[in-house]
Amino acid sequence: MNENVKEVTRNRLNRVKEALEANNFEVYLVSDRAEAAQAVKSLLRDGDSIGLGGSETLNECNILGIVRDGKYRFIDRYEKGLSPEQVRQRQVEALGADVFITGTNAITERGELYNVDGNGNRIAAIAFGPRSVIVVAGANKIVKTLDDAIKRVKMYAAPANTKRLGIKSYCQSFGECKALALGECEMTDGCKGDNRICCDYLISAYQRQKGRIKVILVEESLGF
C-alpha cells in the first residue's frame, strides 16, 4: 500500500478504534493479516471451545488453520460428511462456546458493528452466548454511518457472498441488490424467496459487557 494511503487509513482506523472503545468494545489495531492471525491466537486459551462464523476475512487470515491445530476444542461445522442436521447441531453448540470468531459486514465511524445473516447463527452468537467474541475486520469494512453500512451490504457484501456460497440470487447475477435497482434502500428491502441471504439484521452498539466483543482492525483490505 502507498505510504500516504497507509497513513490516512491508520488515522481513520485510530478514530474508529476510539469510537469502538467508547462503546465498550476491546480493540486491537494491526498492520496485516499475519498480525491479525497472531492477535486472534493471543486471545485464545488452550482448551477453549471455539465456534466460527463463515467469513472470507477469516479465510484470508487462515483462522481455520489456527483453530484446527489441536490446542482448542473447535466446534467444526465444516467437517466433511456432516449431514444438514449435524451442521445445525454444531451451529447451536457454537452459541455456548467459550469463544466465537467472525468477520463483520461493516463498522461505522460511530463505533457500531453492522451484520446481516441469511441463517441468523452468526448474529445470534455475536449478540449473546459465547463468553468472548473476536471480530476480524479489514479497513475496507469501515463506513461513515449506518445508512452507508446498509448500502455497503446491498452493493458489495451480499452479492459477493452469494457468489462465494454458490447461491443463485438477483444480486449475484445483477451485481447489486434488487432493492437498489428498484430505487429502494431501506434496511430490509430486497428480493424474496429461498435464495435470499439478507434475512436477519444486527447492530451492535454500546455494550454493557465491557470487552466481551474484541475487534481486530487490520490496516489492509480483507474479505468483502
Q: Which residues bind ligand SF4 (CB under 6 A)?
A: 154, 158, 162, 169-171, 177-179, 190-191, 196-198
- Side-chain-side CA neighbours of 133 within 13 Å: the count stands at 28
Considering the complex, what minimum distance in angstroms separates the CB of residue 95 from ligand SF4? 24
By beta-carbon distance, which residue lies closest to ligand SF4? 190
Q: In the complex with ligand SF4, which residue's Cβ is closer, 8 or 165?
A: 165
**Minimal distance, residue 171 CB to ligand SF4, in Å:** 3
For the bound state, the minimum distance from the C-beta of residue 188 to ligand SF4, rounded and expressed in Å, comes to 8
- Return the number of the residue (87 or 191) whose C-beta is nearest ligand SF4: 191
Least gap, CB of 120 to ligand SF4 (angstroms): 14
What is the residue whose three cell numbers read 473447535?
Answer: 74
Nearest to ligand SF4 of 32, 189 (CB atom): 189
Query: And the C-alpha cell for 157?
Result: 457484501
Nearer to ligand SF4, 96 or 175 (CB): 175
